[in-house]
Amino acid sequence: MPDLSPQVIELLGGAFVSIAAFAALVFGLRRARRLRPPKAPRPAPPTPPRVELEPPEGAVAVGAAPVAAPVAQRAAPRAPDWGAGLRRSRAGLVGKLEGLFRGRPNLDEKTLEEVESVLFGADLGVRTAAEFLAVPRSRSAPSRSSRHFRAR
């Protein structure tokens, strides 16, 4: 057994007393809570007395106020019209492309770069834009491909 100095014994004794006091407090509070009488239910608030009023002398009876028609419930929200959104996107893309080709007799490299920027702006992606522009760029002269891009 290790050598216990008086200071170690004093510390251990103090710790034991602290733990015992805490346990007594906890168990004492639990017991007091169990033995406490139940709370009485709160009485209902008193109802105010009903007062009947008589109309003043000489008052003329008026018919009942018109009852408002019940408000119609709103219809359930409609599902979004995806087709309309796609038509607007397509119209915007086609309109920009038609604006590029209108009035240009030949399809040059500058026009192809502008078409490419329109396709990127329409969020078609790099691969789709590259595939779309592969045909005119593969030809020896882009102006030979202009008949494929003419407006109908």
| Mean per-residue pLDDT pooled into runs of 10, the chain (152 residues) | 76 88 88 81 86 81 68 72 82 83 78 84 81 78 54 45
Does some domain include residue 118? yes
**pTM for the model:** 0.39
Does some domain include residue 79? no
Does some domain include residue 121? yes
Q: Supply the pLDDT for residue 64.
A: 65
Does some domain include residue 90? yes
Q: Supply the pLDDT for residue 119.
A: 84
Q: Supply the pLDDT for residue 72.
A: 66
Q: Supply the pLDDT for residue 1.
A: 52
- What Å distances lie between residue 33 and 14, 23, 26, 27, 104, CA to CA? 29, 15, 11, 10, 94
Q: Supply the pLDDT for residue 2.
A: 62
Q: State the Cα–Cα distance between residues 89 and 94, nearest whole angstrom.
A: 9
Does some domain include residue 51? no
**Domain of 15, in residue numbers:** 1-36
Q: Are residues 31 and 88 in the same domain?
A: no
Q: Supply the pLDDT for residue 142.
A: 53
Report the largest interatomic distance among the alpha carbons of the chain, rounded to a whole angstrom. 109
Does some domain include residue 43? no
Look at the chain and report how many structural domains it folds into.
2
- Phi, psi (degrees; rounded to nearest 5) at 124: -85, -15
Q: State the Cα–Cα distance between residues 109 and 146, nearest whole angstrom.
A: 12
Kindly give, in sequence order, each residue whose CB lies less than 8 Å from that of residue 143, ignoring residues fewer than 6 positions away: 106, 107, 108
